[in-house]
Amino acid sequence: MNKHEVIDAIEAADQAINARDLITLMDFYEEDATLVIEPGRYAHGKDAIMKAFEAIFDFFNQSLRISQSDFQVVEGGGVALVICKLKLSADGLGETKVSIERKPTYIFRKSVDGKWRCLIDNSYGVELVA
Amino acid sequence: MNKHEVIDAIEAADQAINARDLITLMDFYEEDATLVIEPGRYAHGKDAIMKAFEAIFDFFNQSLRISQSDFQVVEGGGVALVICKLKLSADGLGETKVSIERKPTYIFRKSVDGKWRCLIDNSYGVELVA
């Protein structure tokens, strides 16, 4: 099976996160997208999402690294649901080494310019439900 | 917090499933929606989704019952991601009593007629990824 274009978009966004490149990262979000910061806490719209990423990068002392794998893509009704495995690590917090694994759910739509952009970025997946 | 309209739609669709009312049920899907029948197996479009439900109803000898709770709704980019708890039971298979719990992920969009309709129905949630 050919690799789905939306996976290329996610991997490019991950590279932008790891490089702290907010300009590149923000182009992967629709204007009215939503980021789940943590369960019950959301950033709505690109400005709020950019501020949230700045705060996340600061929280991890610019040491956040993410990588994702095992992508499953389901398309329907003009959107794509992506489920995958996420590894999140950070070593810039002194003695505390952060290493977290999650199964995110993302919703993407192909824009008129041909680029897949994120509508809902929920790295917590079904963890939103206790 | 007010109950989100999309939860009303899901609960009405569940009632239609429990009543084997395919006409009512199908009106909750967009024309080009996708149903995850099981991981790796999908029904695309309303005709295929209706046939899949007929086969599911037959498989459980018309005894399938579902109920859902703990709805979390995230809106972004014009769509709604719904994550919840699903209980599925069936007692029409002789000695075998079926009782399954899952955490689904659904994607809905509000149609121009004001009704929320499903774009992607993935009752397996992140179980799509092994």
Distance CA B86, CA B71 (A): 10
So what's the pLDDT on residue B1? 62
> Are A7 and A71 in contact, with CB atoms under 8 Å apart?
yes
Ramachandran angles phi, psi of A19, nearest 5°: -95, 0
So what's the pLDDT on residue B2? 82
Tell me the per-residue pLDDT of A15-73, one tens digit each, with 9 for 90 and over. 999 999 999 999 999 999 999 999 999 999 999 999 999 999 999 999 999 999 999 99
pLDDT higher at A2 or B45? B45
CA distance B97 to chain A (A): 26
Domain boundaries, chain B: 5-128
Which residues have a Cβ under 8 Å from the Cβ of A58 and sit 6 or more positions away? Answer: none
Out of B75, B120, B129, closest to residue A85 by CB: B129
Q: How many residue contacts between A and B have a Cβ separation below 8 Å?
A: 113
- Mutate one of B119, B123, B127 to test the A interface: name it (highest A CB count within 10 A): B119
> Are A127 and A39 in contact, with CB atoms under 8 Å apart?
yes
Mean pLDDT of the residues in chain B: 96
Distance CA B127, CA B130 (A): 6
Query: For chain A, which residues lie within 8 Å of any Cβ of chain B, measuring from their own Cβ?
Result: 30, 32-34, 36, 39, 42, 44, 70, 72, 74-79, 81, 83-85, 103, 105, 107, 109, 117-122, 125-126, 128-130
So what's the pLDDT on residue A2? 82
Exposed, middle or buried by CB within 10 Å (0-12, 13-18, 19+), for A58? Answer: exposed
Is residue B36 very low, low, confident or very high in pLDDT (cuts 50, 70, 90)? very high
B95 pLDDT higher than 80: yes
So what's the pLDDT on residue B127? 95
Task: Tell me how far CA of residue A100 lies from CA of A20, A34, B19, in angstroms.
Answer: 19, 22, 43
> Are B82 and B105 in contact, with CB atoms under 8 Å apart?
yes
3-class SS of residue B106: strand
pLDDT higher at A96 or B57? B57
Query: For chain B, which residues lie within 8 Å of any Cβ of chain A, measuring from their own Cβ?
Result: 30, 32-34, 36, 39, 42, 44, 70, 72, 74-79, 81, 83-85, 103, 105, 107, 109, 117-122, 125-126, 128-130
So what's the pLDDT on residue A130? 85
Six-digit token string for B75: 């809106």
Single pTM value for the model: 0.96
Distance CA A54, CA A65 (A): 14
The CATH architecture that domain B5-128 belongs to is Roll (3.10)
> Are A35 and A105 in contact, with CB atoms under 8 Å apart?
no
Which residue carries 């209706």 as its tokens? B50
Query: Angle at the Cα of B52 (from B69 to B105), degrees rounded to 5?
Result: 30
Which residues have a Cβ under 8 Å from the Cβ of B40 and sit 6 or more positions away? Answer: none
- Percent of chain B scored above 70 by pLDDT? 99
Tell me the per-residue pLDDT of A63-117, one tens digit each, with 9 for 90 and over. 999 999 999 999 999 999 999 999 999 999 988 899 999 999 999 999 999 999 9
Which residues have a Cβ under 8 Å from the Cβ of B87 and sit 6 or more positions away? Answer: B66, B67, B68, B69, B99, B100, B101
A1 pLDDT higher than 70: no
Helices (H), A1-130: 5-18, 22-26, 46-59
